[in-house]
Amino acid sequence: MGVLDKLGVGIGWRPEIDLTVERLPGVDFVEVVAENLHVEHLPESIVLLRERGVPVLPHAVSLSLGSADPVDVHRVEHLGAVAEALGAPLVSDHVCFVRAGGLDSGHLMPVPRTRDALDVLVANVKTAQANLPVPLALENIAALLEWPDGELTEGQFLAELVERTDCHLLIDVANLHANARNLGTDPNRFLDEIPLERLAYVHVAGGVEHDGVYHDTHAHAVRPEVLELLGELRSRVDPPGVLLERDDNYPSDSELARELAAIREVLARHA
Amino acid sequence: MTEGARERLAEAQSELLTALLAGGPSPAGFDERLLRVEARSLLAKRRGIVAMLGPEVVDALGDEFRPLFDEYALGHPRVAGSRAREDTADFAKWAQERGALPEPAKRRWWQRKAT
Contact B22 A103 (CB under 8 A): yes
Look up residue B13 and give its DSSP letter.
H
- CATH code at position A236: 3.20.20.150
Write down the pLDDT at residue B102.
82
B15 CB neighbours in chain A (<8 A) are: 101
Write down the pLDDT at residue A1.
46
Contact A105 B22 (CB under 8 A): no
Those residues of chain A whose CB sits closer than 8 Å to some CB in chain B are 67-69, 97, 99-107, 109, 111-112, 115-117, 119-120, 123, 144-149, 182, 213, 215
Gap from B36 CA to chain A (nearest CA, Å): 9
The stretch B15-33 carries a mean pLDDT of 97
User: What pLDDT, in 10s, does the model give residues B56-89?
Assistant: 999 999 999 999 999 999 999 999 999 999 999 9
pLDDT over 50 at A101, yes or no: yes
Nearest by CB to B2, from A109, A116, A145: name it.
A116
Write down the pLDDT at residue B103.
73
Write down the pLDDT at residue A115.
95
Nearest by CB to B29, from A101, A109, A148: name it.
A148
Q: Which residue of B lies nearest to A75 if distances are taken between CA atoms?
A: B81
Domain limits at A45?
Answer: 2-269
Contact by Cβ (8 Å): A208, A220: yes
The stretch A138-147 carries a mean pLDDT of 97
What is the rounded distance in angstroms from the CA atom of residue B2 to the CA atom of residue B65? 47
Percent of chain B whose predicted confidence (pLDDT) is above 70: 90
B49 CB neighbours in chain A (<8 A) are: 106
Q: At what angle do helices B65-75 and B5-22 cross, to 10 degrees?
A: 150
Write down the pLDDT at residue A81.
98
User: What pLDDT, in 10s, does the model give residues A238-264?
Assistant: 999 999 999 999 999 999 999 999 999
Percent of chain A whose predicted confidence (pLDDT) is above 70: 99
Give me chain B's average pLDDT, please.
91
Contact B9 A120 (CB under 8 A): yes
Write down the pLDDT at residue A169.
98
Q: Does B31 touch chain A (CB under 8 A)?
A: yes
Q: For the residues of A47-95, what is the DSSP string, one character each?
A: HHHHHTT--EEEE-S---TTSSSPP-HHHHHHHHHHHHHHT-S-EEEES
Q: Which amino acid is at A57?
A: L
Ranges of H-type helices in chain A: 18-23, 44-51, 73-86, 115-130, 154-165, 173-183, 187-193, 224-234, 253-269
The ipTM, to two decimals, is: 0.93
Q: Please report which confidence band the pLDDT of residue A14 belongs to, taking 50, 70 and 90 as the band edges.
A: very high
pLDDT over 60 at B40, yes or no: yes
Q: Does B12 touch chain A (CB under 8 A)?
A: yes
Write down the pLDDT at residue A144.
95
What is the rounded distance in angstroms from the CA atom of residue A120 to the CA atom of residue A67? 8
pLDDT over 90 at A106, yes or no: yes
When divided into structural domains, chain A yields a total of 1
| Number of neighbours of residue A252 by Cβ within 10 angstroms | 9
Q: Which amino acid is at A179?
A: N
User: How distant, in Å, are the alpha carbons of A112, A136, A138, A157, A265 from that of A162?
Assistant: 17, 11, 9, 9, 30
Q: Please report which confidence band the pLDDT of residue A2 belongs to, taking 50, 70 and 90 as the band edges.
A: low
- Rounded to a whole number of angstroms, the CA Rg of chain A reads 17
Contact by Cβ (8 Å): A191, A218: no
Q: Chain A to chain B, count of Cβ pairs less than 8 Å apart?
A: 100
Nearest by CB to A145, from B5, B7, B35: name it.
B35
Q: Which residue of A lies nearest to B6 if distances are taken between CA atoms?
A: A68
> With b meaning 16 or more CB within 10 Å and e meaning fewer, what string describes A57-77?
bbbbbbbbbbbbbebbeebbe
Contact by Cβ (8 Å): B89, B70: no
pLDDT over 80 at B8, yes or no: yes
What is the rounded distance in angstroms from the CA atom of residue A64 to the CA atom of residue A26? 33
pTM for the whole structure = 0.93
pLDDT over 60 at A265, yes or no: yes
Q: Please report which confidence band the pLDDT of residue B115 belongs to, taking 50, 70 and 90 as the band edges.
A: low
pLDDT over 80 at B106, yes or no: no
User: What pLDDT, in 10s, does the model give residues A17-75?
Assistant: 999 999 999 899 999 999 999 999 999 999 999 999 999 999 999 999 999 999 999 99
Q: Does B19 touch chain A (CB under 8 A)?
A: no
Write down the pLDDT at residue A212.
87
User: What pLDDT, in 10s, does the model give residues A167-209?
Assistant: 999 999 999 999 999 999 999 999 999 999 999 999 999 999 9
